[in-house]
Structure 1
Amino acid sequence: MKPRLLRRLFGLAAIATFFCSASAFALDKVVFLTSWYAQAEHGGFYQAVATGLYKKYGLDVQIRMGGPQVNGMQILTSGQADFLMGYDLQVLKSVEQGVPVTTVGASMQADPQGMMTHEDVKSLADLRGRSVLVSTSGRTTWWPWLKGKYKLDEAQSRVYTFNLQPFLADPKSAQQAYASSELFSADKAGVKTHFFLFADDGYPPYGTTIVAMDKTVKDKPDLVARFVRASMEGWKSYLADPAPANALIKHDNPNMHDDQLAYGLEKLKQFRMITGGDAATLGIGVMTDARWKQTRDFMVSAGLLKADVDWKRAYTTQFVKDLKVMP
């Protein structure tokens, strides 16, 4: 082969290598907004950042914390975030109001919401006659379900302000709780409690979902698919070794300490929130039409959603049905 031809071939190879290398480092920037301050329930997403899983799939992901004063849906629809840590009831209600949003994956097969009671309560049916501390958001989500299922009286409800003192002071009270937070605080205070996960009694929504704008799903399906896959692989990794994610969680939320993170992870495993349900056989992140219909039916029966809403617009299974990130 002639020297001039060889030089030309080497030059073309060098140019190709340069562009391949450049494209390898041209990561798609993504902003993911969580629903609360960083905690174990967000571990899979932080793990995907900490271990490079997002980068492996060509993504540069920034996780932004939510909180009590953060309107996540507003931030998503205004284009300030690409994905939102969502909730089925919130998304169905948004669809009813004409907001073009879609759930693309579910980290948890069970909503982590439940009821913390004093130790003399043996089941949720024992709540009759007791005061129940309910947050503002709880009144339009789980409270109608609980009240209807166990024939509770509206007069039993009291305002929950995310302060445990009223519960600790009143042995006849019960309050909403996450097993990993309020229950942890009660244990630290030396109060013996029982915890009832609503999902175990049939409360249907998924937990810690991923929500995107319809336009993102339509115009950037490859980006959505990569974000969902990397996130679910992050959850699998977090359950095996949470140390990388926990370091980032503590950086974002200095009030989160090792003992609470360990407690939170223990509860995620105990209740099989990530790996139970359909995830056990279909993979982490999976969603089904049947589960979404259960949530829709509950909302309609409770007067939380109009019966004629096109509820299937609230989600798509295209990114999780063949994902197969097995526990």
Structure 2
Amino acid sequence: MRTSWLGVAAILSTAGPAMALDKVSFGTNWLAEAEHGGFYQAVVDGTYAKYGLDVTIVPGGPQANNGLLLPAGKIDFYMGGNMISAFAAVEQNIPTLVVAAFFQKDPQCVLSHPGVGHDTFASLKGAPIFLGKEALASFYAWMVSAYGFSENDVKPYTYNTAPFIADKTAVQQGYATSEPYAVEQQASFKPNVFLLADQGFSTYATTIEARLDTVTQHPDLVQRFIDASAVGWYHYLYGDNHAANAAIKKDNPDITDAEIAFAIETMKHYGIVDSGDTKSLGIGAMTDGRQKDFYDEMAKAGAVPAGLDYKKAYTLQFVNKKVGLDLLPKP
């Protein structure tokens, strides 16, 4: 039986023996990295434990498919990418929904070479652009619909930056937290970075997905996981994150301190985690208005079906409670 949060709080505040923590498994969608830092922070600094949780992070990666483990009941929560996959779950009658969004801005970006006439987002139209297959059906469909880009300019992206570096006229997809750093290290120049969120691609990202039965049968568990994760993100961004970064490196030995530092600085610079609605509602915030705006844009682009009951993709039940706002650094 799940323990209520009020019960856990009472137990943890006494000197008596503590009740066993609720075990929770959380699957990420990629190898451990700074973009997962708040969750690692909540593990290593005891925040999850304070909320009565024993959380195991199950890293994703190229050989993992944690997204399938959630509806199969093998994990309790899953880190989604953006809302497109959540809309697809509604279309396919998959019994999951988004319960929080820890990135207010999707880190998805496009890169260009500086000083060759591609220094504004509008100027990128007509340039050869390296894109993966998933990009064509998601953010590039939006770029075509909203800004008039063309699929005729697309070249296949194999997640190798060398072709982009070699062609000064080219554009490439990327994540603001990683590819710009890789290009700078490999080619010794800073590319132009156009964050699609700042151009109107209004999806939430790094969402938390749960099964419908978990939400309906164990809402207290969901609430504690979301609240503790929010606190973890405040501590990771604004406090001492050394132990969390060490845990990230333990799960992903190939990542470097420099890569972690770049990602953290980028998340802060663009307000990827903490901006907009989070300033008044707390990290993890979502609103109906943002969800409707993104759904409408993607339906117009043909990336999701028109007439979909998109509100079945998410719930605001567990967010917008101002958890952690008191942890913000004082001006």
Does structure 1 conserve the Cα–Cα contact (< 8 Å) formed by 2:144 and 2:301?
Answer: no
Q: Is the 8 A contact 1:135 1:160 kept in 2?
A: yes
Give 1:21 shift.
4.7
Distance 1:34 1:310 in 2: 26
Residue number among 74, 80, 84 corresponding to 2:74 in the alignment: 80
Q: CA–CA distance in 1 between the matches of 2:212 and 2:100?
A: 14
1:107 aligns with 2:102: yes
Q: Which residue of 1 aligns with 2:191?
A: 193
Q: Does 1:164 align with 2:161?
A: yes
> Which residue matches 2:176?
179
2:56 matches 1:90: no
1:124 is aligned, of 121, 124, 131, to 121
* Partner residue in 2 for 1:5: none
Contact map agreement 2:105 2:197 (CA 8 A) in 1: yes
Gaps of 5+ in 2: 1-10
SS of the equivalent of 2:273 reads: coil
Task: Give the structure 1 partner of residue 60 of structure 2.
Answer: 66
> How far is the alpha carbon of 1:152 from its aligned partner?
1.3
Secondary structure at 2:308 match in 1: coil
For residues 153-206 of structure 1, give each alpha carbon's deviation from its aligned partner in whole angstroms, at most 9, with x where no partner exists. 111111111111111111111111112211111111203311010010110111
- What is the TM-score when the length of structure 1 is the normalising length? 0.91
How far did 1:221 drift? 0.2
RMSD: 1.7
Equivalences for residues 226-245 of structure 1 within 5 A: 226-240=224-238, 241-245=240-244
TM-score normalised by structure 2 residue count:
0.90
Secondary structure (helix, strand or coil) at the match of 1:102 reads strand
1:239-278 correspondence to structure 2 within 5 Å:
239-240=237-238, 241-278=240-277
8 Å Cα contact 1:229-1:323 kept in structure 2: no
CA distance in 1, matches of 2:57, 2:85: 21
Check if 1:203 corresponds to 2:201: yes
What does residue 41 of structure 1 align with? 35
Residues 179-188 or 64-73, more deviating = 64-73
Q: Name the SS of the counterpart of 2:88 in structure 1.
A: helix
Quick one: distance in 2 between partners of 1:192 and 1:199? 20
Q: Which amino acid aligns with 1:276?
A: S
Of structures 1 and 2, the larger Rg is shown by 1
Please list the CA deviations of residues 260-281 of structure 1 after superposition, one character each: whole Å capped at 9, or x if unmatched.
1011100010001111011112
- Residue 70 of structure 2 aligns to a residue whose secondary structure is helix
Task: State the AA in 2 paired with 1:302.
Answer: A
**1:130, distance to aligned residue in structure 2 (A):** 1.1
Rounded to whole Å, the distance in 2 between the matches of 1:165 and 1:156 is 18
Structure 2 counterpart of 1:192, one-letter code: K
Query: Which amino acid is the alignment partner of residue 90 of structure 2?
Result: V
Distance 2:292 2:63 in 1: 30
What is the identity percentage for the equivalent residue pairs of Structure 1 and Structure 2? 43
**SS of match in other structure, 1:77:** coil
* Structure 1 residue 318, shift from structure 2 partner: 0.9
The answer to whether the Cα contact below 8 Å between 1:168 and 1:191 also exists between their aligned partners in 2 is no
Q: Which amino acid aligns with 1:268?
A: M
- Aligned: 1:151 with 2:148: yes
Q: CA deviation at 1:69?
A: 3.7
Q: Deviations over 1:17-36 (max 9, x none)?
A: 9x9955x2411111111111
Determine the C-alpha separation between the residues in 1 that align with 2:88 and 2:100.
18
CA contact (8 A) 1:92 1:311 kept: yes
SS of 1:93's partner is helix
Equivalent position to 1:223, from 221, 224, 238 = 221
Q: Partner letter of residue 119 of structure 1?
A: P
Map 1:269-308 → 2, pairs under 5 A: 269-308=268-307
Deviation at 1:95, TM superposition (A): 0.7
Shift of 1:217: 0.4
1:7 corresponds to which residue? none
What's the counterpart of residue 134 of structure 1? 131
Letter in 1 for 2:264: L
Structure 2 counterpart SS, 1:106: strand
- 1:289 Cα deviation after fit: 0.2
Alignment check: 8 A CA contact 1:113 1:176 kept: yes
Distance 1:70 1:304 in 2: 25
One-letter code aligned to 1:300: A
CA distance in 1, matches of 2:282, 2:46: 21
Compute the displacement of 1:283 (Å). Answer: 1.1
Query: Which residue number corresponds to residue 24 of structure 2?
Result: 30
SS at match of 1:211: strand
Alignment length (residue pairs): 310
Alpha-carbon offset, residue 117 of structure 1: 1.0
Q: Distance in 2 between matches of 1:273 and 1:262?
A: 15
Partner of 2:45: 51
